[in-house]
Amino acid sequence: MAQPQQSEEAGKPPLRVGMVGYAFMGAAHSQGWRTVGRVFDLPRRPVLTAICGRNADAVRRAADRHGWAAAETDWRTLIERDDVDLVDICTPGDSHAEIAVAALAAGKHVLCEKPLANTVEEAQVMARAAEEAYGRGQLAMVGFNYRRVPATALAHRMVAEGRLGTLRHVRVTYLQDWLVDPEFPLTWRLRRELAGSGSLGDLGAHIVDLAQYLAGEPLAGVSALTETFVRERPLAGAVKGLSAVSGTGTGTGQVTVDDAALFTGRFTSGALASFEATRYATGRKNSLRIELNGERGSLAFDLERLNELVYHDGTEPGAHAGFRRILVTEPDHPYLDAWWPPGHGLGYEHTFVHQARDLVHAIAEGSRPEPSFADGLQVQRVLAAVEESAEKNSVYTPIAV
């Protein structure tokens, strides 16, 4: 039974992928590319052509582990390869703009991890390059993978269908605790020149995008506070057995990003929003929660229960109204017609499979993928406005367009 399916797959035009970066996100994206063609019926066949990283031994091990045919140590060499159609960027934010713009100029499609860039100016350059490349038939997408959780995709559909009516409130939190220990070393994520910002860019970018995606409209303004709780940390070499992109050595170095960000916002419709992003919520490992309240109903999603959506229909009689749990595993729920029977849940890794699926279809159809680099630029503008507001401690900071 398997042979006809293999022949059918072999007959599809390949989409040859080259990836820059091989750590946490590189592993997650590799899982997506390796799995997507085995689950979904795709118009093109993803091929894991080459993976790139600066450490030759480490990137070769990553290639063998994750199924990449070749390994490179220079991203410029990767994008020059004739057997690469798409460049997937999973590096720290300081290199996103340079790699993405060069890849688009070389005639490649691009998938870039979030946040799109470290600054609005870099994101603008990337968005312009993506728009010009679209005219040549090349597509660019930013990797906000939480859009691809079936439950959040269903929430998006329900809001678009008017199930909540006029939106009044959105509240979002994204809580982690991996920096609680003051002896945790100074990794690249704690250095502004590499990461752009701290919890704001790392976690805040996700919840800003998810809030705007579910609400179906952009934020118009914010008022913010940020804080850095531990301002000096040991260099990587000072902690036995640990290393980091930030280098090695003894002693300590300055933390130059935020540890936590707290801000309120207003959508273009007038709906209000609140956001909290921190890597200091002791006991919280990856706790993302969003709730939307409208005139006709409410929706809530919790990443720690990612196969569920909680819904309240405000039009029902009060005698038996209340929040109810929707188990998002039915075949008519987003993405789930290709997976398991109802009741068999999915996990975090599947968001990257769905991301790959959507991008492959967009490339085959020549349609603009979502979220686009323009969407990534909008998120970057929000992040910049949060930082500006926090610096001024002002009540309201407009977001420039």
Burial of 299 (0-12, 13-18, 19+ CB in 10 A): buried
Containing H/E element for 243?
none
Q: What is the pLDDT of residue 399?
A: 80
Q: What is the pLDDT of residue 11?
A: 82
Q: What is the pLDDT of residue 248?
A: 54
Instruction: For residue 10, give both structure tokens.
Output: 């072999």
SS3 252: strand
Which amino acid type is present at position 381? R
Q: What is the pLDDT of residue 392?
A: 87
- CATH architecture group of domain 148-346+370-398: 2-Layer Sandwich (3.30)
Q: What is the CATH number of domain 2-145?
A: 3.40.50.720
Characterise 67 by phi-psi region: left (phi > 0), alpha (psi -120 to 50), beta (else). Answer: left
Distance of alpha carbon 19 from alpha carbon 62, whole angstroms: 11
Do residues 268 and 217 touch, judged by C-beta distance below 8 A? Answer: yes
pLDDT in tens, the chain (401 residues): 334 445 556 789 999 999 999 999 999 999 999 999 999 999 999 999 999 999 999 999 999 999 999 999 999 999 999 999 999 999 999 999 999 999 999 999 999 999 999 999 999 999 999 999 999 999 999 999 999 999 999 999 999 999 999 999 999 999 999 999 999 999 999 999 998 899 999 999 999 999 999 999 999 999 999 999 999 999 976 443 344 444 456 799 999 999 999 999 999 999 999 999 999 999 999 999 999 999 999 999 999 999 999 999 999 998 988 999 999 999 999 999 999 999 999 999 999 999 999 999 999 999 999 999 999 999 999 999 999 999 987 555 678 87
Q: Say how many C-beta atoms besides its own lie within 10 A of residue 34's C-beta.
A: 18
The rounded Cα 92 to chain-centroid distance in angstroms is 13
Q: What is the pLDDT of residue 237?
A: 60
Q: What is the pLDDT of residue 71?
A: 98
> Of 173, 188, 219, whose CA–CA distance to 398 is shortest?
219
Q: Could you identify the residue written with the tokens 């992928």?
A: 17
Q: What is the pLDDT of residue 123?
A: 98
Q: What is the pLDDT of residue 394?
A: 54
Between helix 205-215 and helix 150-160 the angle, nearest 10°, is 40
Between helix 350-365 and helix 24-39 the angle, nearest 10°, is 60
Instruction: For residue 196, give both structure tokens.
Output: 């752009």
For the chain, give every domain's residue range. Answer: 2-145, 148-346+370-398
| Omega of the bond leading into 218 within 30 degrees of 0 (cis) | no
